[in-house]
C-alpha cells in the first residue's frame, strides 16, 4: 500500500492516533495530535508519553499503557472517570484557561515487529456538554414536578414524598417528627373581595413550606417535639400577622393564619398519615375556636389543646 496514502488517511481522521514501540516510545503521531497537543511529530518521535507529558506519570493512562506493553491487555479510559488524562486542547486559547479536551481513550496492544501499542484519543467535549445540559434539564423537570406553580414552594407530591422519607427516618432513629398544618383564615372572602391576583400574591407570602391544597400549607419539622413545634407555629403565626396584609372581612382587618400542630416519635406500627390526621384535627379545632391561633393535638386525651 502507498505509505503516503496511509499517512494522509491517518492525518485526516478526527481522532488522535499514537503508535508506541515495545519500549513505549512514539513511532507515529497523526495530525490530530499535532493540532491539539501543539507538538510536531519530529519533536515527539522516539520519546515516551511520560517524557512528553510528565503529569500522566502516576495516572491511569500510564498504567494502562504499561499493561498493554507488558501483558497485551486492552483498556478504555472513559471521560466519566478520567475526563482529561492528556493535556490537549481544542483551541490555542483553551490552554490558557486550562480547558482540556474531554477524552475517551482506547489502548490496544498490537502484534507487529515495530509497533506494539495503539492509542486512540476521541474528543468527547461536545457529547459531555450535551450530557450535562440534558442532566440539568432533567433535574429542572424533576424539580418543577415537585413545585407548586403559584407559590413556588413544594407541592402535594413533594410533601407526600418528604413525609414518607422523614417519617421512616424518625421511626428508625426513634426521634420526634412534627407537622404544622397552616390555613389562611377567611381566604375565600379575601379572594372574592380583592380578586384572584391579590389572593395569589397573598399565598406567595409563605416561606419554604409545601402547599397542601387550596389555601392550606404544611411544614415538616424533623427532630422537633411538641413544645418546640408549638413555639415555631406561634412564631409563624405572628410573622404572618406582622405582614399586615389588609383583609376587611376578618375581625382584625388583616390576613391571619390558623395552625394545627402534631408531633410524635413513631412506633413501628404507626402510619405516617396518622400524623397528618392529628395535625388536621388540631387545625380545624383552631378554626372552630376563632382562628388566628395555634393548637396542638394531644393524643393522650384525643383532642386539641392551645399551644
Residue-wise DSSP of 235-300: HHHHHHHHH--B-TTSTTSB--EEEEEEEE---TT--HHHHHHHHHHHHHHHHHTTSS-EEEEETT
Catalytic residue among 40, 67, 215, 234: 215
> Where do we find the cell 397542601?
212
Residue 81 and residue 77: Cα distance in Å, rounded? 7
| Catalytic residue status for 215 | yes
- CA-based radius of gyration for the chain: 33
Neighbouring C-beta atoms of residue 255, cutoff 10 Å: 21
**Crossing angle, helix 272-288 and helix 156-173, to 10 degrees?**
120
Q: Are 268 and 213 in contact (CB under 8 A)?
A: no
Identify the residue whose cell numbers are 375556636: 289
Residues 6+ apart with CB under 8 A from 144: none
Which of 201, 174, 177 has the alpha carbon at shortest distance from 187?
Answer: 201
31 close to 8: Cβ distance less than 8 angstroms: no
Measured CA to CA, the distance from residue 166 to residue 174 in angstroms comes to 11
**Number of neighbours of residue 137 by Cβ within 10 angstroms:** 10
> Catalytic site residues?
215
Amino acid at each position: 500500500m502507498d505509505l503516503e496514502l496511509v499517512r494522509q488517511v491517518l492525518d485526516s481522521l478526527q481522532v488522535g492516533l499514537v503508535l508506541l514501540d515495545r519500549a513505549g516510545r512514539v513511532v507515529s503521531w497523526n495530525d490530530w495530535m499535532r493540532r491539539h497537543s501543539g507538538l510536531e511529530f519530529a519533536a515527539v518521535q522516539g520519546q515516551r508519553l511520560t517524557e512528553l507529558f510528565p503529569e500522566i506519570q502516576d495516572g491511569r493512562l500510564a498504567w494502562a499503557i504499561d499493561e498493554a506493553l507488558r501483558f497485551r491487555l486492552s483498556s478504555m479510559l472513559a471521560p466519566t472517570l478520567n475526563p482529561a488524562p492528556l493535556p490537549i486542547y481544542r483551541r490555542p486559547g483553551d490552554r490558557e484557561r486550562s480547558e482540556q479536551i474531554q477524552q475517551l481513550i482506547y489502548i490496544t496492544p498490537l502484534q507487529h515487529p515495530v509497533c506494539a501499542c495503539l492509542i486512540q484519543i476521541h474528543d468527547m467535549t461536545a457529547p459531555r456538554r450535551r450530557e450535562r445540559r440534558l442532566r440539568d434539564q432533567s433535574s429542572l423537570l424533576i424539580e418543577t414536578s415537585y413545585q407548586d406553580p403559584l407559590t413556588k414552594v413544594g407541592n402535594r407530591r413533594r410533601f407526600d414524598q418528604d413525609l414518607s422519607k422523614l417519617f421512616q427516618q424518625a421511626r428508625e432513629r426513634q426521634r420526634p417528627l412534627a407537622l404544622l398544618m397552616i390555613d389562611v383564615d377567611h381566604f375565600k372572602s379575601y379572594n372574592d373581595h380583592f380578586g384572584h391576583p391579590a389572593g395569589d400574591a397573598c399565598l406567595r407570602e409563605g416561606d419554604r413550606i409545601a402547599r397542601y391544597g387550596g389555601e392550606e400549607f404544611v411544614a415538616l419539622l424533623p427532630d422537633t417535639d411538641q413544645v418546640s413545634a408549638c413555639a415555631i407555629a406561634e412564631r409563624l403565626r405572628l410573622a404572618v400577622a406582622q405582614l399586615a396584609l389588609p383583609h376587611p372581612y376578618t375581625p382584625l382587618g388583616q390576613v391571619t393564619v390558623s395552625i394545627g400542630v402534631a408531633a410524635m416519635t413513631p412506633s413501628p406500627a404507626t402510619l405516617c398519615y396518622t400524623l397528618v390526621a392529628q395535625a388536621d384535627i388540631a387545625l380545624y379545632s383552631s378554626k372552630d375556636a376563632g382562628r388566628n391561633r395555634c393548637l396542638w393535638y394531644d393524643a393522650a386525651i384525643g383532642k386539641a389543646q392551645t399551644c
